[in-house]
Structure 1
Amino acid sequence: MALPRTTLEQWVVLQTVIEQGSYAQAAQVLNRSQSSVSYALSGLQERLGLSLLEIHGRKAVLTEQGRALLVQASPLITAFLQLEHRAAGLKDGVRTELSLVVDSVFPKNRLFRALKAFQQQFPDTRVHLTEILRGESIAQLNERSADLYITTLAPENAIHGRFLLDVDFVPVAKSDHALLQLPVPLTAQDLARFPLISVADRHLPRTDNHSSGTIANWTFTTVGAAMEAIAVGVGYGWLPLETVQSALDNGQLSRLALSARTVRQTALYMALDNESERFDQTVSALAKSILTECGLLP
């Protein structure tokens, strides 16, 4: 394999000259002499056998050929700088990948804001996110072996969980659902006439509604699917308030006025894997981003 005839340094100098508009300004930005900038560009053009620059007044501009080549070179320059940045992170102990297990009822807006804040701090660390059913058992969580957990239970291989928040569940139905035409407050007998849409909970056994002659309930594995079923009028259900708030605000869904309690809560906790090698600045930063979104850190 033949070695490149040009160097990355020469292309960086060319890019800087165009960005700054002159050899003198580029030399100042690169902390080099103007003569070394001129020498680098002369060598680049000589090795390519092409004229890449023209001087218009006091401003350096690309020729048509120079413009075409720099367009291709710019992503390579960016990629190489990212490579060096990642190498520096590896030297300092920054992880290249983290695994995060999150209960499906954890508010998505908080989750993705936390991940965005983490990404800005560690852009070269990938996060593998696994969403789990509400109330998975400790044995099931142990099988997932994550760096960080947001669950109703802390797995055995993790440090005891820190409380994050209570997720408020409210009863909702499509705004034109028949339940909303009945006198309030609604009773258990009123609700029993319609399917209950629920998010799967591994703690609760499944019941055979058909055997008792009642309306069959529907169970979904994600909050999003349960919400869509309710939004088209399949039935009513208890959904996280933060998740359905926009649908309540725009009138797509309405809260049901019940004779019993109208808010249920599920507590969520954050737990770290207890293997010592996993305690590092990367995991700590992700945990802090999540705690901040939950209002537990400034």
Structure 2
Amino acid sequence: MVNSTFGNVDDLYLFCSVVEEGSLLAASRKLHLPVSTMSRRLTALEQRLGMRLLEKHGRELVPTQTGLTAFSHLNSGMEQIELGLQALNAQSKQVEGQIRLVMPHSFYQGFVASVIEQFMRDHPKVKLNILLNQGLSAPETDRDLVITFDIKGMDGMIARPFFSAKHAFFASPEYLKQVGQITEINDLVNLEWVSLAQDTDIPIYRGDKPEDLISVKPRLVVNDINAVIQAVENGFGIASLPLRHIQKERNLIRILPDYHRGKRQSYLVYKQRTYQPKALTLLVNALIERVSEKHFAAKQ
């Protein structure tokens, strides 16, 4: 971020983008920034300048007369800065630098490993520091990339939807013999649960429609999906498991097959930055492209 007499130049760029795109929502999509973050930064910009640049018109923000004047003075300069930085990026043929990538172990084994290996072949001067764990934290620098299902506490970060995983309920035949027949949603409440996290509220869907929300108390919490599956196979309870991880040879039976937990959305999370390191941009694009491939989508 570049500072000026008026504060952060990035905030001036946000203002110009809102006017240029015609709405706050359209600008947020272009810049991959949350609407709430943009609104907060624009308000702070107006306070620093001591003038009203945007005003509400229906559901949209439109420039005031002062805002239009400011836009006419600022926009050409912002375009020149953008073109200049794009030209500098284009001149840099060799991608280099270091990226810290944080994700659960199962993500890496499942499909990210092949993307990383190809990325390293394509960009031999990029160094990667990969941390495989479930206890994820928010990105700390502009070279950190986090892959996670949980974006709580990551306000102000860019969180791009990555892939979604449909979950259903499974238990072993041995465990089902112990607890008896399960025919209704309420039967799930008093069962012993195995979980990836301290989940107590479990949403229940039928098709695409939410059906119920139940509260459970996990007996076992373990931060690795393969360990959860193994515990369920060994009869320690039931679990909400991603369908793409369940092979036919597993010692598992799907409970209440007409119902499921819904889809859990994962995200690529990195610090908000108009011009991020090229290596990070290329890695994010490679991961997004991997998820869009038909053979991967078919596994969801």
Q: 1:213-269 CA deviation, whole Å, 9 max, x = no partner?
A: x98621112222212211211111112222x222xx11422211267x323222122
Q: Is the 8 A contact 1:104 1:132 kept in 2?
A: yes
Q: Does 1:178 align with 2:176?
A: yes
Q: 1:12-65 CA deviation, whole Å, 9 max, x = no partner?
A: xxxxxxxxxxxxxxxxxxxxxxxxxxxxxxxxxxxxxxxxxxxxxxxxxxxxxx
TM-score normalized by structure 1?
A: 0.51
Q: Closer, same or farther in 2 for the Cα pair 1:271/1:291, shift >3 Å?
A: same
Which residue of structure 1 aligns with residue 159 of structure 2?
161
Q: From the CA coordinates, give the structure whose radius of gyration is larger.
A: 1
Match of 2:174, SS? coil
Which residue of structure 1 aligns with residue 118 of structure 2?
117
Match of 2:232, SS? helix
TM-score normalized by structure 2?
A: 0.51
The sequence identity of aligned pairs, in percent, is 14
4+ runs of 1 displaced by more than 4 Å?
103-107, 142-146, 275-278
Q: What is the CA-CA distance between 1:163 and the residue it aligns to?
A: 1.6
Q: How many residues align?
A: 188
Q: What is the CA-CA distance between 1:192 and the residue it aligns to?
A: 4.3
Structure 1 counterpart of 2:254, one-letter code: R
Q: Closer, same or farther in 2 for the Cα pair 1:264/1:226, shift >3 Å?
A: same
Q: Closer, same or farther in 2 for the Cα pair 1:173/1:297, shift >3 Å?
A: closer
Which residue of structure 2 aligns with residue 255 of structure 1?
254
Q: Closer, same or farther in 2 for the Cα pair 1:127/1:267, shift >3 Å?
A: same
Which residue of structure 1 aligns with residue 64 of structure 2?
none
Q: 1:146-205 CA deviation, whole Å, 9 max, x = no partner?
A: 5222233283463x322222221221122433259843524433x34542000115x869
Partner Cα distance (2:227, 2:143) in 1: 25
Structure 1 counterpart of 2:169, one-letter code: P
Q: 1:114-150 CA deviation, whole Å, 9 max, x = no partner?
A: 223312312443322234537x6xxx41558752222
Partner Cα distance (1:273, 1:297) in 2: 29
Partner Cα distance (1:163, 1:218) in 2: 29
Partner Cα distance (2:281, 2:167) in 1: 30
Q: What is the CA-CA distance between 1:294 and the residue it aligns to?
A: 1.2
Which residue of structure 2 aligns with residue 43 of structure 1?
none
Q: Is the 8 A contact 2:171 2:238 kept in 1?
A: yes
Q: Closer, same or farther in 2 for the Cα pair 1:278/1:297, shift >3 Å?
A: farther
Q: Does 1:97 align with 2:98?
A: yes
Structure 2: gaps (5+ residues): 1-91, 202-215, 296-300
Partner Cα distance (2:178, 2:142) in 1: 45
Q: Is the 8 A contact 1:113 1:293 kept in 2?
A: no
Match of 1:200 among 197, 202, 208: 197
* 1:47-62 equivalences in 2 (<5 Å): none
Which residue of structure 2 aligns with residue 223 of structure 1?
225
Which residue of structure 2 aligns with residue 77 of structure 1?
none
Partner Cα distance (1:251, 1:146) in 2: 39
Q: What is the CA-CA distance between 1:283 and the residue it aligns to?
A: 1.6
Partner Cα distance (2:174, 2:163) in 1: 32
Which residue of structure 2 aligns with residue 29 of structure 1?
none
Q: What is the CA-CA distance between 1:103 and the residue it aligns to?
A: 5.0
Q: Is the 8 A contact 1:172 1:236 kept in 2?
A: yes
Structure 1: gaps (5+ residues): 1-90, 206-213
Which residue of structure 1 aligns with residue 240 of structure 2?
238
Partner Cα distance (2:251, 2:141) in 1: 37
Which residue of structure 1 aligns with residue 266 of structure 2?
268
Q: Is the 8 A contact 1:117 1:289 kept in 2?
A: no
Which residue of structure 2 aligns with residue 72 of structure 1?
none
Q: What is the CA-CA distance between 1:106 and the residue it aligns to?
A: 4.4
The CA RMSD measured in Å over matched residues stands at 3.6
Q: Is the 8 A contact 1:186 1:258 kept in 2?
A: no
| Larger strand fraction of residues | 2
